[in-house]
């Protein structure tokens, strides 16, 4: 496989409803779509970085020059035996996994299309025909709105509820949710809003039978998470902290978590995501697929990833309409009444692109090669 040309497009998509985490409120997403062209076919990837460097150090604005000046020149015009070889080609770049992942996942899609097979098969997935889905609910303006939101998602069939928390919007909200919904699969995500000094406070969450507490402490601090986990009964799930399979092994080895959220962008694409998955599986640690408010391409890639065998917990991949009035793929991603997404058998990521709509959303475009 040889990549002759790469087209970058930055698109802007307003969210149906704002999404608030402990670090910011998002009302409009800006993502970079990566189109790789080779042998007359195109493969597509999506950069999952946020609009600001608040989830991790990357943002849409940093991903563009990293791709144009560093990542893409390392793959253009080279004979690439397999998409699995792309990760090491860009490994000379420190960090910037989401930028690198946007390119890497596009090349996996291209490879799948060249072989005429679905992406889930190309990456070695296919352990299930339907992936179990949960939802991530942002911090609401009131607990009443939170409860109404949860009610709505449960009636849509979603299998588990994740609620975002931050200091001042945590224990009481969780208490009321548990009171209203005593038996649901419930978890919280703090996006690094606490420190070890909050251990006693966080221990109060042990009373509410949560599946897990996601990333309570610093985005890059596995060591403090190990200390906190020793003080909590509720399993910790690491998100931000796990950027490589090596870090996953270290975190598991020091008992910093009982569960791992795998995000394609955060780990730099499918090859490393598979290695994180395998490391967790070998240690008996379950994983699930996280989300970054993706448009259709990123959403479809997440669905393929979640067919690997150790993705046994409901993830954050949900229906397009929860976020978008109109998605950039056809059909849009839909869930079944029992809270799953069925995988598709078309070559590549399995959905058609709405190129006219993408064109109308495009803020800038650049061809490389
Ligand atoms: O921490 O999982 C997170 C969205 C933006 C940034 C970080 C996170 C999230 C989510 C949303 O929780 C998951 C989704 O895409 O539905
Ligand atoms: Mg998270």
Mean pLDDT of all residues belonging to the chain: 98
Tens-place pLDDT, residues 66-87: 999 999 999 999 999 999 999 9
What pLDDT is stored for residue 42 in this prediction? 98
Tens-place pLDDT, residues 183-213: 999 999 999 999 999 999 999 999 999 999 9
H-state helical runs in 165-244: 171-180, 199-203, 222-231
Question: What separation in Å is there between the alpha carbon of 290 and the centre of ligand 1?
Answer: 7
**260 φ, ψ (degrees, to nearest 5):** -125, 135
What pLDDT is stored for residue 292 in this prediction? 98
CATH 3.20.20.120 location in the chain: 122-342
Strand order in the sheet with 213-214: 134-137, 160-164, 185-189, 213-214, 236-238, 259-262, 287-289
Nearest CA to ligand 1 atom 9: 292
**CB-based contact 35:106 (threshold 8 Å):** yes
Question: What separation in Å is there between the alpha carbon of 277 and the centre of ligand 1?
Answer: 19
Residue 269 falls in which region: left (phi positive, over 0), alpha (psi -120 to 50) or beta: left
What pLDDT is stored for residue 59 in this prediction? 98
Q: Which ligand has an atom closest to residue 213 CA?
A: 2
Query: How is residue 208 annotated by DSSP?
Result: G
Helix (H) or strand (E) segment spanning residue 33: strand 25-38
Nearest CA to ligand 1 atom 7: 292
CATH 3.30.390.10 location in the chain: 5-116
285-310 in b/e burial notation, b at 16+ Cβ within 10 A? bbbbbbbbbbbbbbbbbbbbbbbbeb
Minimal CA–CA distance to 316: which of 326, 302, 332, 296?
302
Give the start-end residues of each E strand in 102-258: 130-132, 134-137, 160-164, 185-189, 213-214, 236-238
> What is the spatial distance between Cα 38 and Cα 369, in angstroms, rounded to a whole number?
11
Tens-place pLDDT, residues 306-357: 999 999 999 999 999 999 999 999 999 999 999 999 999 999 999 999 999 9
* CATH number for region 122-342: 3.20.20.120
Nearest CA to ligand 1 atom 12: 136
5-116 topology per CATH? Enolase-like; domain 1 (3.30.390)
Question: What separation in Å is there between the alpha carbon of 272 and the centre of ligand 2?
Answer: 18
Q: Which ligand has an atom closest to residue 163 CA?
A: 1
Q: Which residues are catalytic?
A: 164, 263
Pocket of ligand 1 (CB under 6 A): 21, 55, 136, 189, 191, 239, 290-293, 316, 318
Q: Which ligand has an atom closest to residue 55 CA?
A: 1
Nearest CA to ligand 1 atom 1: 191
């Amino acid at each position: 496989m040889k990549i002759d040309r790469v087209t970058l497009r930055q698109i802007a998509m307003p969210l149906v409803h704002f999404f608030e985490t402990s670090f910011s409120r998002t009302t409009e997403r800006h993502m970079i779509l990566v189109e790789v062209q080779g042998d007359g076919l195109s493969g597509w990837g999506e950069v999952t970085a946020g609009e600001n460097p608040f989830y991790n150090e990357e943002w849409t604005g940093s991903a563009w020059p990293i791709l144009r000046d560093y990542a893409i020149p390392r793959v253009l015009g080279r004979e690439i035996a397999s998409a699995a070889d792309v990760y090491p080609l860009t490994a000379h770049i420190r960090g910037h996994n989401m930028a690198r992942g946007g390119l890497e996942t596009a090349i996996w899609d291209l490879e799948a299309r060249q072989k005429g097979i679905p992406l889930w098969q190309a990456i070695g997935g296919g352990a299930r025909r339907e992936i179990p889905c949960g939802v991530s609910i942002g911090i609401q303006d009131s607990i009443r709105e939170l409860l109404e939101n949860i009610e709505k998602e449960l009636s849509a069939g979603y299998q588990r509820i994740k609620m975002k928390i931050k200091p001042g919007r945590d224990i009481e909200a969780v208490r009321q949710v548990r009171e209203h919904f005593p038996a649901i699969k419930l978890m919280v995500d703090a996006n690094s809003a606490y420190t070890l000094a909050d251990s006693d406070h966080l221990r109060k969450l042990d009373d509410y039978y949560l599946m897990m507490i996601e990333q309570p402490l610093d985005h890059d601090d596995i060591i403090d998470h190990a200390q906190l986990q020793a003080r909590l009964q509720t399993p910790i799930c690491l998100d931000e902290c796990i950027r490589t399979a090596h870090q996953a092994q270290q975190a598991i080895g020091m008992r910093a978590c009982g569960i791992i959220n795998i995000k394609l962008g955060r780990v730099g694409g499918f090859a490393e995501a598979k290695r994180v998955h395998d490391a967790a599986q070998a240690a008996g640690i379950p994983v699930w697929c996280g989300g970054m408010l993706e448009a259709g391409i990123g959403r479809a890639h997440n669905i393929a990833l979640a067919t690997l065998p150790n993705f046994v917990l409901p993830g954050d991949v949900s229906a397009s309409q929860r976020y978008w009035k109109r998605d950039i793929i056809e059909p849009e991603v839909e869930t079944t009444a029992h809270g799953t997404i069925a995988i598709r058998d078309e070559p590549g990521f399995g959905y058609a692109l709405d190129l006219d709509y993408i064109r109308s959303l495009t803020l800038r475009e650049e061809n490389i090669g």
